[in-house]
Every structure is written in structure tokens, then in C-alpha cells.
Amino acid sequence: MKLTWKIAKWEFTRNFTNKQFLIGLLLTPIIMLLFAGVPQLISKLDKPQQEVFYVIDEISEFGQLVEAATDTNLKFVQYQGELAELDELVLEEEATGYFILNQAFLKTGQVQVHTAEKKVMFKELQGLLSNLLQGLRVQEIGIKQEQVAYLTSPALLSSVHIGGESNGDQSNRIGVSIALAGIVLFLIFTSGAMLLQSALQEKQDRMAEIILSSVSSDNLMQGKIIGHFLLGISQLVLWLSIGLPAAWYFMDIPVWAMISLGQLPILIFFALTGYLLFAALFVGIGSTMTDMQSASNTQGMVFMLPMLGFIFVGPVISNPNGLAAQIGTFFPLTSPTITILRLGLAEVPTWELVVAAIILLFTTLLVIKAAAKLFRVGMLMYGKTASVAEMWKWMRY
């Protein structure tokens, strides 16, 4: 165990002091912020172009039209000259087009817009003219604006959960559950990728044999798994220490209140065992490859396995105790993420948790054992990526 810790410590410090890792550590939150902020920034910078329309006003409502267009990108210019010259004027002034407001508009609501370009979107103009038309017709009939608002107001729905939880609480709860499951998945992916890289590096740097003359292959594998787990956790802690207050402050989500303390040990068990399962799988398979490029289809598929959980996310959210949710909970490769997701969404029957935990634990132990066998042989094999048949043979030794 002492040697395992020495390896874990080495893996941890070697990566934690690595420039690339540090840059990634600091850049990721910045990139996240950028992804959130840049679209807004761009939308501010890239204001839509103002659209200029000439209007021939035969119903004396131009003033109202201009007033309605105050906060829009529309600009109206009243035209009182010859209609025949208007086409030319629009093209000359690079305006969007022109239209005529007349009695026919009041009666039928139809307006013909003459445009300079072939394709023009009228959504904003249409809204504006619709409002103008409605206002004018309301006046004509003689009902008050307030009465119109009263008549046209929509039904407003809000739900109150019998247990006392409001709708907002529930959507927050779903959000937090997805986030928790996502964090586990993220940890599996990032630490898994680093683990794989580390096993490959060991082979590429030709260090495996030197290390294996001092420690057993089991020690080396365990040390790597623990070291990268700690690395992943510290990465998460750093990011969450930025992300959680941000979620609290900006989005007003009381994250901690959403996780019930009683469930925390179950949550930690599934997260940890799940990490171990995939870490062992990754490091075992990683040791059988020469480099990332040489990964065969089968090996590539293994790295996609954590994604399996995604199949169940939709069905589980719509029915947290349905058949899909149960299958997702029992199947060891999806069990860690789906169980965590379900725990946040609904009350999961205890027997299901126990069965899922036993299956997951058993599978994890089996995978660790198989991975250790692959690792033992794979780490000493240079210049060749093992075939599936070879891997099978090593596992049966």
C-alpha cells in the first residue's frame, strides 16, 4: 500500500505541476465563461441593421406608427411626392422599401410592401402594423383599451406540489441532479483520459520495466488510478468553488439545499465505484495500446462506454421510477450516473439501490481483476497494439 501511495503521489504531483495541466485547469473556467458570455456580447455588438421604409399615409396615422417604432429597428419616412418616383428613391437611398396605408388596409388588413431586395423579413413590421390595425379597429368599435387587455389576457398556469415543493424547486432539483450525474461523468472522462495517457506515456517513455522492477503491476495500476482520481477531484473542487457560488449568485439556485444529506453516502458510493470501474477499464485497455492512433475499433468503443448513460437520461427524467430507470440503475455501466440522477429526482426504492450497489461492486471488482491482468502483460509490450484475441488470452492466464 505504501508503494501504491508513492506512485499515486508521483502521478499527482507530476501532473499537477505540469504546465499543460495547469493551463487547462485555469483555462477551462475561462472558456466556460466565454461560452456563456460571448454570445451575449456578440448579440450586443452585432445590432441588426436599421430598416427604412417610406410610407404614403392616406389615413393620417403616421404619427402613431412612428411612436410605435421607437424601440425597434424600423424607421419610417413619410413620402408625399409622386408614386412613380418612389421606386427610384428607395433604390437611391438604399432603403428597405415602401408601403401605403389606406382605407383598404383598415378594412382588409392587407398591405403591399414594395422592397428593394428580393427577400425581406417582415416579422417586426408585421407586428407593428397588426398592433396599429387592432388599435384603430378598437377605436372604431368604441371599446376601451383596458377592456381589450382584459379580453385577450391568456391563462397563467402554476403548479403547487402536494409535498409543498414549488415548480421552481422541482426544475432546480432536476438541474442539480443532472449536474451531479454530469460531474461524475466528467470526472470519469477527464481522469480516465489522463489515466489512459499516463499508461501510454509510461510505455512510450520506456519506464514500465524500471517501475515494475520496484513495484508490482497491481501497485502501479492502483497508484495510477488513485493519483488521477485525486487529480480529477482537485480539478473539480477548484471549478466547483468557482461554479457553485456563481450558480447561487447569478441563478439563485440553492445547490446544497437540493442535496439531502442522508443521500450523500449513497451518492459518494456510486460516484466512487463508478469511477473505479471505468478507471480500471481505461487503464487496462490503455496498457494494451501503443498510442492513441493505434487504438482498434474495439478499444475505441471502450472509451465511449461511459456515454451509454445518455440513452437513459430522457426516459429517467420523464419517469424516474419507470422500467428504463430501473434498467439504467441495474446495468453496471450506466448505474453510477443513472442512480445519482434518480436519487435527485425521486425516492428510489431501497431494494433497487441495494441490488444496483451489489451488481456495480461485483462488476467493478471483476473489471479491476481483468484490467490488472491486461496491465501486467500490456505494460511490457512495446511497439504493438494487442488484438482482442490476445487480450482475451492474457485475461485467462
Partner 1 sequence: MNNTLDVKNINKTYDGVKVINDISFAVKAGEIMGIMGPNGAGKTTTIRMIMGITAPDQGELHFFLNGESRNRIPQASVGYLPEERGLYKEAKVMEILLFLSGLKGLDKVIARKRIMEWLEKFQLADKANSKVQQLSKGMAQKVQFIASVLHQPALVVLDEPFSGLDPVSQDVFKQEIRQLADQGMAILISSHQMNLVEEICNRIFIINKGEKVLYGPLQDIKAQYGSYQVNIIAEQEIPELTRSPLVQSFQRLGKKWSLVLKDNTAPAQFLATIPPESPIDELSVARISLHDIFVRIAKGGSSDEINLENR
- Tell me which of 380, 387, 388, 392 binds partner 1, using CB under 8 A: 380
- 383 sits in the region (left: phi over 0; alpha: psi -120 to 50; else beta) called left
Q: Which is nearer to partner 1, 72 or 385 (CB)?
A: 385
Whether 226 and 8 have beta carbons less than 8 Å apart is answered as yes
The contacts of residue 190 (CB under 8 Å, 6+ apart) are 232, 235
What is the spatial distance between Cα 90 and Cα 115, in angstroms, rounded to a whole number?
8
Residue 14 within binding range of partner 1, rule CB under 8 A = yes
C-beta of 329: minimal distance to partner 1 in Å?
A: 41
Whether 47 and 92 have beta carbons less than 8 Å apart is answered as no
Residue 18 within binding range of partner 1, rule CB under 8 A = yes
3-state secondary structure of 61: coil
**C-alpha neighbours within 13 Å on the C-beta side of residue 291:** 5
Q: Which is nearer to partner 1, 7 or 255 (CB)?
A: 7
Residue 388 within binding range of partner 1, rule CB under 8 A = no
Q: Which is nearer to partner 1, 92 or 209 (CB)?
A: 209
- How deeply is 107 buried, as exposed, middle or buried, from its count of CB atoms within 10 A (0-12, 13-18, 19+)? exposed
C-beta of 210: minimal distance to partner 1 in Å?
A: 6
C-beta of 240: minimal distance to partner 1 in Å?
A: 28
C-beta of 227: minimal distance to partner 1 in Å?
A: 12
* Grid cell listed for 47: 445590432
C-beta of 25: minimal distance to partner 1 in Å?
A: 17
CB atoms within 10 A of CB 49: 8
Q: Which is nearer to partner 1, 213 or 293 (CB)?
A: 213
Q: Which is nearer to partner 1, 173 or 203 (CB)?
A: 203
Which one, of 194, 372, 397, 189, lies nearest residue 288 by Cα? Answer: 372
Q: Which helix (H) or strand (E) holds 77?
A: strand 74-78
Phi, then psi, of 163 in degrees rounded to 5: -70, 0
Q: Which is nearer to partner 1, 14 or 114 (CB)?
A: 14
Whether 295 and 385 have beta carbons less than 8 Å apart is answered as yes
Mark 341-370 with x for binding to partner 1 (rule: CB under 8 A) and - for no binding. Answer: ------------------------------
Q: Which is nearer to partner 1, 23 or 41 (CB)?
A: 23
Q: Which of residues 202-241 bind partner 1 (CB under 8 A)?
A: 204-207, 209-215
Q: Helices in the chain by DSSP H: which ranges?
A: 2-16, 19-45, 62-68, 83-92, 103-108, 123-141, 145-152, 167-204, 208-212, 217-251, 255-258, 264-286, 297-304, 310-318, 323-330, 335-345, 350-378, 388-395
Size of residue set near partner 1 by CB under 8 A = 20
Q: Which is nearer to partner 1, 217 or 334 (CB)?
A: 217
Q: Which of residues 185-204 bind partner 1 (CB under 8 A)?
A: 201, 204
End-to-end Cα, the chain, rounded Å: 24
C-beta of 170: minimal distance to partner 1 in Å?
A: 49
Q: Which is nearer to partner 1, 7 or 279 (CB)?
A: 7
Residue 117 within binding range of partner 1, rule CB under 8 A = no
- Tell me which of 382, 384, 388, 392 binds partner 1, using CB under 8 A: 382
What is the spatial distance between Cα 134 and Cα 136, in angstroms, rounded to a whole number?
5
Q: Which is nearer to partner 1, 197 or 321 (CB)?
A: 197
Residue 307 within binding range of partner 1, rule CB under 8 A = no
- How deeply is 301 buried, as exposed, middle or buried, from its count of CB atoms within 10 A (0-12, 13-18, 19+)? exposed
Whether 341 and 322 have beta carbons less than 8 Å apart is answered as no
C-beta of 2: minimal distance to partner 1 in Å?
A: 9
Mark 66-105 with x for binding to partner 1 (rule: CB under 8 A) and - for no binding. Answer: ----------------------------------------
Q: Which of residues 258-297 bind partner 1 (CB under 8 A)?
A: none
Residues that bind partner 1 (CB under 8 A): 3, 6-7, 10, 14, 18, 201, 204-207, 209-215, 380, 382
